[in-house]
């Protein structure tokens, strides 16, 4: 059976629907046809699906979790075993473990049955990631055109499907170009350039073309399914600056000057059979300088670092890329020269810097990459060095890390995530979802937990475990935490204005945000600004965070309680809090970690842990909350163990604020 959808949609989709429910497949087709024209093969079983994929070469597969002769796991594993890089979108209800399993097996997205309005966007994402993933995998070891362009802050790139008529842009660094004909690329200015570009694409070989705004790089390639033909087209801008350009603060050359010098050094090295190394240096915890002496002191320390690097490495070409990032070019042959330069750079930090008359010791994290071993062009060489320094910071800072291709994929993704996180708050890319918490005795909503989500362009909705660790590593977690606090408090004000009183929202704070000691002041200022009662806010701090310094933690929690804010210890039971310490903390809630809830219905040990926590809590006069409740059996067991409050998928998934409002109105009328 085949379906043909709307003719005038932006993108044509060739897909296979894998479900034993024909009515369900028609609903999928209708939802997708709202955004894409559609040509779909229907498969009622896993065997039919694999046969259709092998013969029809679809662009995407949309599948139900359960199939007549298997499941989504069998489908994903079969595709992987056959080497078929077909993007798969699942449509249906999956619990937390199944979701994790689906993504681990390679699913691109999972759409709930009740949220079919999102299926068009999920299919578009699957098409895009299928093409881009194929390009990345195709030439990963050679530092692809796509990797180079994504690492740069400027420059345009488009991936064009050549076997569509007209040739259509399926991926672009400017998202508004997606779905438009190739001829509308903004860096092709006239008919002559367009004709030359078409000739280059038809030749099916990598070429460089001079155009009005710079140089076009055209790289044709084929990718599954069906070895479809694409072309990656990048525009390298002509540099407008010369090597005389200098960083106004330190006097060091800037990024453009560095790239010009590195390009010449790489050309010379290729001719002479030598090597070139780039050392990317990031100063660890530089924010301490600004906190102690302000930005003026920070500028003075940056000038001192630049002077020390020039003195320590006179044969290296040093540059400042911005912030506390410095880059060194070592054009001498062999790894020994690069190691000597790295040692000299580390030595430049041995003596303390003076901030407000006091000595401050700083350390560098350094990433090293060399050409031609790690990259074949300047952009890729800088990017691989940056990936190496990012790995150095992840592993503990204050070290020199050489680029390792075996870890390139995950490290590269973390670098991209770090880049995208910069400015994401200002661009309005974050959202708060809210998960209700329910009173065990009445099953009524007792409060809400605010949970951050990142609507990352071209990635969809990203869960916090994918970006919070990166935000912590690169010093953005405090700004992110402040945004969450303000947004949650502002939402309470919105609900109050809508006639929904006494809504209490719990907000998680990171260890770094908690330890900054600025938290009580920020909370007080925000509550006053929005006119929200302190009792409407609960601050959640992990057990491990408060145990880092018990004295400071007790004082900070006391300040929060003095404001009238409730305090909760999150992940309780996973750390080292003893009864003696717990008596020192002014807390209102203990949140039992989900690891004990998962098997509480069947496991004697987990039941004993929960019983111990609830008994301890009642003795201290605090309430208990169990997280991750997904089954009725868990709920009944927790009720028998005297738990006060539960939250989890059994009652409600995290939902946007707009979807929470009807739930709160139901509570109000109950």
Indicate whether 528 pLDDT > 90: yes
| pLDDT 10s digits, 462-514 | 888 778 877 876 778 888 999 999 999 999 999 999 888 778 999 999 888 88
Q: Are residues 445 and 664 in contact, defined by beta-carbon separation less than 8 angstroms?
A: yes
Instruction: Name the pairing type of β-strands 317-322 and 156-161.
Output: unpaired
Tell me how far the alpha carbon of residue 80 is from its chain's centroid: 25
Distances (CA, A) of 65 to 53, 62, 452: 18, 10, 27
Of residues 402, 401, 362, 369, the one with CA closest to residue 384:
369
Q: Is the pLDDT of residue 30 over 60?
A: yes
User: Under 8 Å CB-to-CB from 480, ≥6 apart: which residues?
Assistant: 425, 430, 452, 468, 471
For 624-642, how does the pLDDT look when each residue is reduced to its tens digit (9 = 90+)? 999 888 888 888 888 888 8
CA–CA separation, 109 and 89 (whole Å): 5
pLDDT for residue 412: 56
Give φ, ψ of 524 to 5 degrees.
-60, -40
pLDDT recorded at residue 117:
80
Task: Show the tokens assigned to 592.
Answer: 């039992």
Residue 34 pLDDT: 75
**Whole-number pLDDT of residue 152:** 40
Given the structure tokens 């488009």, which residue do they identify? 158
Give pLDDT, residue 416.
66
Q: How far is CA 192 from its chain centroid?
A: 41
Separation in Å, CA 212 to CA 100, 189, 192, 232:
48, 7, 11, 19
Greater confidence (336 vs 347) lies with 347
| Whole-Å CA distances, 64 to 4, 54, 103, 330 | 20, 19, 14, 55
pTM: 0.47
Pull the structure tokens for residue 216.
């076009």
pLDDT computed for residue 574 by the predictor: 57
User: How much is the pLDDT for 667?
Assistant: 60
d(CA 625, CA 504): 14
The rounded distance, in Å, linking the Cα atoms of 415 and 405 is: 14
Q: Shortest CA distance to 321 belongs to which of 308, 302, 304, 338? A: 302
The chain-wide mean pLDDT, for the chain, equals 79
What confidence category does residue 586 fall into, taking pLDDT thresholds of 50, 70 and 90?
A: confident
Q: What Rg, from alpha-carbon coordinates, does the chain have? A: 28
Beta strands in 102-148 (DSSP E): 109-111
- Helices and strands (DSSP H and E) totals, the chain: 23, 30
Encoded tokens for 257: 């000057």
Beta strands in 412-522 (DSSP E): 430-439, 445-456, 460-462, 505-508
CB atoms within 10 A of CB 281: 28
How far is 84 from 71, CA to CA, in rounded Å?
A: 18
């Amino acid at each position: 059976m085949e379906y043909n959808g709307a003719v005038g949609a932006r993108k044509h989709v060739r897909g296979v629907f894998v479900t034993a429910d024909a009515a369900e497949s028609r609903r999928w087709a209708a939802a997708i046809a709202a955004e894409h024209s559609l040509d779909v093969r229907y498969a009622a079983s896993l065997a039919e699906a694999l046969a259709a994929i092998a013969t029809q070469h679809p662009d995407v597969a949309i599948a139900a979790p359960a199939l007549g002769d298997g499941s989504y796991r069998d489908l994903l594993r079969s595709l992987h075993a056959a080497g078929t890089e077909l993007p798969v979108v699942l449509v249906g209800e999956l619990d937390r473990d199944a979701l994790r399993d689906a993504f681990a097996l390679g699913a691109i997205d999972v759409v709930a049955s009740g949220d079919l309005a999102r299926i068009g966007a999920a299919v578009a994402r699957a098409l895009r990631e299928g093409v881009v993933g194929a390009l990345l995998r195709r030439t990963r070891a050679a530092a692809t055109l796509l990797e180079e362009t994504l690492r740069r802050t400027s420059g345009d790139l488009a991936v064009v499907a050549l076997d569509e008529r007209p040739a259509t842009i399926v991926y672009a660094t400017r998202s508004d170009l997606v779905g438009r004909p190739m001829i509308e690329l903004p860096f092709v200015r006239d008919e002559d350039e367009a004709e030359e570009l078409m000739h280059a694409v038809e030749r099916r070989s990598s070429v460089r073309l001079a155009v009005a705004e710079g140089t076009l790089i055209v790289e044709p390639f084929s990718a599954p399914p069906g070895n479809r033909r694409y072309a990656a087209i990048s525009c390298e801008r002509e540099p407008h600056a010369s090597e005389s350009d200098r960083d106004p603060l330190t006097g060091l050359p800037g990024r453009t000057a560095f790239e010009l010098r590195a390009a010449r050094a790489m050309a010379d090295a290729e001719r002479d059979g030598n090597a070139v190394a780039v050392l990317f240096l990031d100063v660890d915890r530089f924010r301490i300088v600004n906190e102690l002496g302000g930005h003026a002191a920070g500028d003075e320390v940056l000038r001192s670092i630049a002077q020390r690097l020039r003195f320590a490495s006179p044969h290296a070409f040093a540059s400042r890329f911005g912030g506390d990032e410095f880059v060194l070019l070592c054009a001498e042959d062999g790894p020994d020269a690069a190691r000597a330069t790295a040692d000299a750079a580390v030595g430049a930090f041995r003596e303390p810097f003076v901030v407000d008359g006091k000595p401050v010791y700083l350390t560098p994290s350094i990433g090293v990459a060399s050409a031609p071993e790690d990259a074949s062009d300047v952009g890729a060489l800088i990017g691989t060095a940056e990936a190496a320094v990012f790995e150095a910071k992840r592993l503990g800072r204050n070290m020199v890390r050489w680029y390792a291709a075996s870890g390139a994929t995950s490290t590269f993704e973390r670098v991209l995530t770090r880049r995208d996180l910069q400015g994401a708050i200002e661009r309005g890319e974050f959202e708060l979802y809210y998960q209700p918490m329910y009173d065990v005795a009445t099953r009524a909503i007792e409060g809400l937990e605010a949970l951050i989500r990142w609507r990352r362009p071209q990635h969809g909705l990203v869960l916090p475990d994918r970006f919070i660790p990166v935000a912590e590593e690169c010093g953005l977690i405090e700004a992110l935490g402040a945004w969450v606090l303000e947004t949650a408090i502002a939402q309470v004000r919105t609900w109050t204005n809508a006639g929904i009183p006494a809504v209490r929202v719990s907000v998680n704070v990171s260890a770094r945000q908690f330890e900054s000691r600025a938290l009580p002041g920020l909370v007080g200022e925000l509550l006053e600004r929005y006119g929200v009662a302190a009792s409407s806010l609960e601050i959640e701090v992990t057990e491990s965070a408060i145990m880092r310094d018990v004295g400071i933690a007790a004082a900070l929690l006391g300040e929060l309680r003095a404001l009238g804010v409730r305090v909760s210890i999150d992940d309780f039971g996973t750390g080292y809090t003893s009864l003696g310490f717990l008596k020192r903390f002014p807390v209102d809630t203990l949140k039992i970690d989900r690891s004990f809830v998962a098997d509480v219905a069947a496991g004697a040990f987990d039941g004993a842990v929960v019983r111990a926590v609830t008994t301890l809590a009642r003795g201290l006069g605090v309430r208990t909350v169990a997280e991750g409740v997904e089954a009725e059996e868990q709920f009944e067991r927790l009720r028998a163990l005297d738990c006060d409050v539960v939250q989890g998928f059994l009652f409600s998934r995290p939902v946007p604020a707009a979807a929470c409002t009807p739930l709160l109105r139901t509570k109000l009328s109950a």
